[in-house]
Structure 1
Amino acid sequence: MKNVFLRRKNILISAILILCIILSTLAFAQQDINDNENKVKNVILMIPDGMTIAHTTLARWYQGGEPLAMDELACGLVRTYSANNPITDSAPAATAYATGFKTQNRYLSIYPEMVSMPGVGQVEEKDFYKPIITILESAKRLGKSTGLVFTCQFPHATPAAFASHTDNRNDYESIAEQMVYNHVDVVLGGGYKYIDKNQRKDKEDLAGYLKQNGIFVTTNWQDAKNFFGQKIWGLFAQDAMHYDFDRKDAGEPSLAEMTQKAIQILSKNRNGFFLMIEGSQIDWASHANDPVGVVSEVLAFDKAVKVALDFAKSRDDTAIIIVPDHTNGGMTLGIGTTSIDSVLLNHFLKYIRRATRTAAGVEEILGNNKTDENIKKVVSQYYGIDNLTQDEINAIKNAPQGRLNYVLGPIISKRSYIGWTSNEHTGEEVVLYAYHPKDYIPRGVIENTEVCDYMAEILGIDLGSFNENAYISNIDLEEKGYNVSIDTSNPSNIQLVINKGSKKYIIPQNKNLVLEGSNQYKLKYVSVYIPSAKRFFVSSEIESLIK
């Protein structure tokens, strides 16, 4: 009887173990199903640069209290600090969204060497300045189409973070070259002069390179509207585009129109797409403390949000994330010691609603005709202000070129009871907005790096695998026994030179090319030179190429 009992006991234990395995397998299977349900083909990241709650409040009142298109998507807050400062600039802020890593101010999608903020992991010295693969670059490697839409010049910090790597966000010529050689499929915005051989210091014909690689290049919006191919760089201004209130006479498209065109082109790819859209000049208006510019650009951005949201809601494979990169200006509705009971809604809106140009637009209209009478006439015509003081007239007259908005903005703000604490970025959290067809969205207070983590998750991208051994530096190559040198004889074209036997391999900075005699090879990623550290980073498959 004892043996029978033991056999029954063993059978029962075995059955329990089998049941546990089955339940565990089912649980994992269910998790896989849930993960697959949350995945999408397309992600649209929208960045209203520098936008705060005060900005959206003012824009909402401007349109009669009607909700913004983005309002229904508000779901949390995002912490914006960089690796070395509680107040970030746009370069590390965009880097966090592009790579999932915090870096230091001025850096674009490279690891920092200076980390001083709590909770930010230290980087090993060998990885200082090393390029970090971006979500756009990863999406492209997976066969997705990629796009960047903005109203600034394309090498500016936010678009640049997704398709370039540098320790100097102001090195526009190098950044532009990297972005061109990164083969972004759709680029719509400003900055043609950075691909024009006649305007570049190094005389590189980047526009010609794009055309040779099957990309339609245009500066004309009508031509772009009529384009129905799959790759286009439409750069509709030599540098930055106009503010939305000022653009009509310039023949430039709106952010919403460019968004519509980008989606139309990118959605042709059955593998899906990644698209970043920036409301670039919300930030610039905030730097100038110009409330008219703020309203102009927030509403223009919100119209682009509606375009993207209409597209996403018409299908079940697209997610949208809307998130400012930082706050700017410390804008408030209410100023000084003014009694809250004495300021009515019309006091905030009176002059802003009358405005038909931003301060930057008014500067173009004034031109060189800055007589007292013409200043009073133009300011009255475009803002309805008829009581300029002599000090204000003198300030307008003496404003440096390109900086009149820093004078007119505060003049309008004072009369509109709108306060500002700064002409610079500030360090508060920003509002997170998100749409997902299955309502799988981040909530609560999150880090800016988690925005990238979320996008990678729903796209099914393992960013870690892309970053692992993606780049190798000249120092790494030397330690492995290669004969390596950096040729700086032409400052506009720094090159990494690798000698092996009778062969010499030349790797130009900012390109994805290797030259060996009359042979030319392409690398996965663009090569990056960091002058301050004398470090040259090259795509790691260079080793297999030169063996």
Structure 2
Amino acid sequence: MPDSAAASSSWGGGMRVRNGSLNVGPNGEKPQPILQKFKEQGKKVGCVTTVPITHATPAGFCINIDNRGGQDIIAELYLALKFDVMMGGGSKYFGEKRVGGNLLPKYLTQGYKVAENRAEMLALDKSKPVLGLFAEDGMPYEVDRLHDAELMKTVPSIAEMTMKAIELMKDHKDGFALQIEGGKVDWAAHSNDLGGLIFDQLAFDEAVGKVIEFAEKDGETLVIITTDHGNSNPGLFYADEANKKFDNLQKFKHSNTWLLGQLNQSFSEQKIMEMIKENQGIEMKSDDIKSLLAHFKEIVPGQLYNEANLPFYEYGKILGKYTDVQWAGMNHTGDYVELTMFGPGAESLKPFVKNYELHNFMLKAAEMPIHFLNRS
């Protein structure tokens, strides 16, 4: 099953590649990514995401590199492209903390406008290409942002980034192409982080609503909504109080990731119990607190998106007793994924399509030449 790099490359480059690769085929093929094609045809182009803008999904529409992990290199590859709008997290791959040196002075010299907070983003105009960097790595989970006054002030929502990107590109005479990713939904699924996942999915849904609203008025914009893969298969498993337990989510002020990051193993059971009650509205039993503390000592370093070595799986399993949401694992799944469209060209969508077929579908919708590649 594809990871985000291979899936994005299928759409972006129109051919299947190995997991971890971005538009570099098994025999070294390097198909031109779709946003480069759109840019060459005179369109404005851009990406918006809640994870680093150098991450696999946006990068799959933009560049060719055989290792998705080289995000510091991807940041440099973006520089030469001069795409019109690139917004998300990942400042550590561009700024002073970047391996290989600070790229931001080069971006400024090349004529980019750099925004590093919500106010700077809202003030952007169309005069220069835009690089927006609103977090060192991934952006905060929406549930955490909503309950932190400082984050609400300084960090834009995905809907705000989306609408700003459209504002900056919508009046261009040759049109625009924009990729929007609710990337931290994926991170939350990897972490079995229910609050992180649900509230980020709702934030993405808000962004989709804004896009559809624009497309309805515009009448010339095709909106494609899909995902790259399943992940961890969370499910609501019925029990006697399933509705009541699931409604506990409405009391969440913070994600599991935020909460576990605040815990210290030296805290008393009572203090941890109070923290969980305060931040997630759940009155957790003493035995579950003891179990959680024990699991802190069993974490294997190097887990995906878990640099702090937090007991994501264990806490997700414990929390399932109080929400009736359980998880199948912590990684990508082989599900078929949903695909829907709105706008001119949507009538051509078949009931079942392969991921790489979307590349030519998008080109055709934009009345551009389609390309034939060996996609096996």
Distance in 2 (alpha carbons) for counterparts of 1:165 and 1:96 = 12
Select the residue among 452, 459, 462 that pairs with 2:369.
462
The CA RMSD measured in Å over matched residues stands at 2.2
Match of 1:480 in 2: none
Given that residues 147 and 274 in structure 1 are in contact (C-alpha distance below 8 angstroms), is that contact kept between their aligned partners in structure 2? yes
Given that residues 153 and 239 in structure 1 are in contact (C-alpha distance below 8 angstroms), is that contact kept between their aligned partners in structure 2? yes
Look up the SS of the partner of 1:422 in the other structure. coil
Given that residues 193 and 316 in structure 2 are in contact (C-alpha distance below 8 angstroms), is that contact kept between their aligned partners in structure 1? yes
Distance in 2 (alpha carbons) for counterparts of 1:194 and 1:290 = 25
Select the residue among 142, 157, 161 that pairs with 2:60.
161
Query: 1:368 offset after TM fit, Å?
Result: 7.8
Deviates more, 1:207-216 or 1:90-99: 207-216
Match of 2:132 in 1: 234
Given that residues 149 and 277 in structure 1 are in contact (C-alpha distance below 8 angstroms), is that contact kept between their aligned partners in structure 2? yes
Distance in 2 (alpha carbons) for counterparts of 1:463 and 1:367 = 56
Distance in 1 (alpha carbons) for counterparts of 2:184 and 2:316 = 14
Match of 2:122 in 1: 225
Select the residue among 344, 355, 360 that pairs with 1:448.
355
Match of 2:218 in 1: 315
Distance in 1 (alpha carbons) for counterparts of 2:309 and 2:140 = 12
Given that residues 222 and 346 in structure 2 are in contact (C-alpha distance below 8 angstroms), is that contact kept between their aligned partners in structure 1? no
Match of 1:132 in 2: 31
Given that residues 232 and 333 in structure 2 are in contact (C-alpha distance below 8 angstroms), is that contact kept between their aligned partners in structure 1? yes
**What CA deviation, in whole Å up to 9, does each residue of 1:443-477 have, x standing for no partner?**
31110112222111111222428x89xxxxxxxxx
Change (3 A) 1:395 1:439: same
- Structure 1: where are the runs of 5+ without partners? 1-86, 113-127, 335-339, 469-547
Given that residues 92 and 106 in structure 1 are in contact (C-alpha distance below 8 angstroms), is that contact kept between their aligned partners in structure 2? yes
Query: 1:328 offset after TM fit, Å?
Result: 0.6
Query: 1:310 offset after TM fit, Å?
Result: 0.6
Match of 1:382 in 2: 279
* Structure index of larger Rg: 1
Match of 1:244 in 2: 142
Change (3 A) 1:366 1:144: same
Select the residue among 306, 323, 327 that pairs with 2:209.
306
Distance in 2 (alpha carbons) for counterparts of 1:97 and 1:388 = 49
One-letter amino acid of the structure 1 residue matched with residue 142 of structure 2: D
Q: Map residues 130-279 of structure 1 onto 2, 5 A cutoff.
A: 130-196=29-95, 198-203=96-101, 205-230=102-127, 231-248=129-146, 249=148, 250=151, 251-279=154-182
Equivalent pairs counted in the alignment come to 358
Given that residues 370 and 397 in structure 1 are in contact (C-alpha distance below 8 angstroms), is that contact kept between their aligned partners in structure 2? no
Given that residues 90 and 136 in structure 2 are in contact (C-alpha distance below 8 angstroms), is that contact kept between their aligned partners in structure 1? yes
Query: 1:152 offset after TM fit, Å?
Result: 0.5
Given that residues 158 and 203 in structure 2 are in contact (C-alpha distance below 8 angstroms), is that contact kept between their aligned partners in structure 1? yes
Query: 1:190 offset after TM fit, Å?
Result: 0.4
Query: 1:111 offset after TM fit, Å?
Result: 1.3
Distance in 1 (alpha carbons) for counterparts of 2:14 and 2:37 = 12
Select the residue among 386, 396, 412 that pairs with 2:319.
412
Q: Map residues 27-38 of structure 1 onto 2, 5 A cutoff.
A: none
Distance in 1 (alpha carbons) for counterparts of 2:186 and 2:286 = 27
Change (3 A) 1:93 1:439: closer
Change (3 A) 1:311 1:442: same
Distance in 1 (alpha carbons) for counterparts of 2:272 and 2:344 = 52
Distance in 1 (alpha carbons) for counterparts of 2:265 and 2:106 = 39
TM-score, structure 2 as length reference: 0.89
Distance in 1 (alpha carbons) for counterparts of 2:31 and 2:191 = 33
Select the residue among 333, 340, 343 that pairs with 1:426.
333
**What CA deviation, in whole Å up to 9, does each residue of 1:295-345 have, x standing for no partner?**
1111011000011111100111101000100001022221xxxxx573542
One-letter amino acid of the structure 2 residue matched with residue 345 of structure 1: N
Task: Kindly indicate which of the two structures has a greater share of residues assigned to strand.
Answer: 1
Match of 2:304 in 1: none
Given that residues 242 and 324 in structure 2 are in contact (C-alpha distance below 8 angstroms), is that contact kept between their aligned partners in structure 1? no
Change (3 A) 1:229 1:292: same
Look up the SS of the partner of 1:440 in the other structure. helix
Query: 1:223 offset after TM fit, Å?
Result: 1.1
Q: Map residues 448-527 of structure 1 onto 2, 5 A cutoff.
A: 448-464=355-371
**What CA deviation, in whole Å up to 9, does each residue of 1:176-211 have, x standing for no partner?**
211222222101110112111x322222x4212221
One-letter amino acid of the structure 1 residue matched with residue 328 of structure 2: T
**What CA deviation, in whole Å up to 9, does each residue of 1:58-116 have, x standing for no partner?**
xxxxxxxxxxxxxxxxxxxxxxxxxxxxx21111011111121111111101112xxxx
- Structure 2: where are the runs of 5+ without partners? 302-307
Query: 1:142 offset after TM fit, Å?
Result: 0.5
Q: Map residues 89-104 of structure 1 onto 2, 5 A cutoff.
A: 89-104=3-18
Q: Percent identity?
A: 30
Deviates more, 1:246-255 or 1:262-271: 246-255
TM-score, structure 1 as length reference: 0.62
One-letter amino acid of the structure 2 residue matched with residue 271 of structure 1: D
Given that residues 289 and 406 in structure 1 are in contact (C-alpha distance below 8 angstroms), is that contact kept between their aligned partners in structure 2? yes
Look up the SS of the partner of 2:114 in the other structure. strand
Select the residue among 284, 288, 296 that pairs with 2:199.
296
